[in-house]
Amino acid sequence: MHLLDVLAALLLTAAAAAFAFGAFALARADDVEAFYFLIVGAVALRSSVQVVRPGAGA
Amino acid sequence: MKAQGADAGAVRRALRLLANVGPSAQAAIPGGYAWAMTVAPAAFGRGAPWIAKAVALVGVLALLSAPWVEGWKAEPRAEAEPPPPRTLAGLVERVRTASSGAWARAWSVWGLVLSSALVWALVPGALAATRLDNVRGILGMAGWALFAFTSAAPALPRDRARAELVDDGSPLKPRSSVARGDGAYIAVVLVAVLAMQTIGWGVGNPERAVLVRVVTLAAGVALLTSATTVALARHATRVPASRKLRMRRATPWLALLCVLAGSGIAFAMLR
């Protein structure tokens, strides 16, 4: 397992946690916090995929 | 080894039995369950109008009568026959020559879905968080998911002529097996996705409750898609990217993540 795979898995876990925090904040009607966590989740998710993308055709 | 073979035989027998029941009858079981969990309490609850009760019964009627519709006309379109063109005349031809299975599925799915939607529209208060029990809501959601799955991909009856060509005991080997670790990736993410579905069931405002459901579903789909990509990327033949390319590709996203995390921490400390 490469170091990049570990980083991607960590970023995926961070994205899941951020989405969960965002959903909790949305349920509490704390819209700013929800928006913040959902953006963090989306960026973490995108980063996790970018990190494992192969070199060719990038 | 012998016990495993016996288990596989029992599963095969059970699937064969289920397939012989017919696709519409299979869908009627989870459909009836979903109806009992989410539609019946709304239609037959206190204060529901009589029209909601009547419409709810149409949904049950659709489920119960679909197996009968299935056996109504038994000549499906020949496989070799080309499909009609995508014109109005083609559409009419499609409807005219549709098999009884297609009619039964349309009647079962649309009959239940439209009648349920109408009941919820007639009794909007029935879905309010104060009246909907969390466990019942989640079980109802699972019932609807199973109904969708069974309607879309029912167990099909065994084709005897073709089955005779295949020897059940032949040593067929799968082309490939699931690589070690992939199952764990998907299982962990699936648990996270399902756990996310338990959030927000106590929200009082219906609009916000729906928004939370939509956001958690979208987040779940995104997580599953990315997890699959990350899991599969481990087995791809790696073409090493140059350091410059890797930096150029990953830096903006990681930097954005760092900025977001830093600003969040700063905001939390200042508040």
Picking from B180, B199, B248 by the largest number of A CB atoms within 10 A of its own CB, the best residue to mutate is: B199
- Over the stretch B181-210, which tens digit does the pLDDT of each residue have? 788 888 888 999 989 888 888 887 878 888
Under the banding of pLDDT at 50, 70 and 90, the label for residue B151 is: confident
Confidence of residue A56 (pLDDT cuts 50, 70, 90): very low
Q: How far apart are CA B260 and CA A22, in angstroms?
A: 14
Q: Which residues of A touch B250 (CB under 8 A)?
A: 47, 50-51
CB-based contact, A25 to chain B, within 8 Å:
no
Q: In this complex, do B202 and A49 lie within 8 Å of one another by their Cβ atoms?
A: no
More confident residue, B157 or B34: B34
- Tell me how many residue pairs between chain A and chain B have CB atoms under 8 A apart: 113
Annotated domain spans of chain A:
3-52
CA distance A14 to chain B (A): 11
Q: pLDDT over 90 for what percent of chain B?
A: 17
Asked if B256's CB is within 8 angstroms of A43's CB, the reply is yes
pLDDT at B240: 60
Residue A1 sits at the chain B interface (C-beta within 8 Å): yes
Task: Tell whether A7 is within 8 A of chain B (Cβ).
Answer: no
Name the DSSP letter for residue A55: S
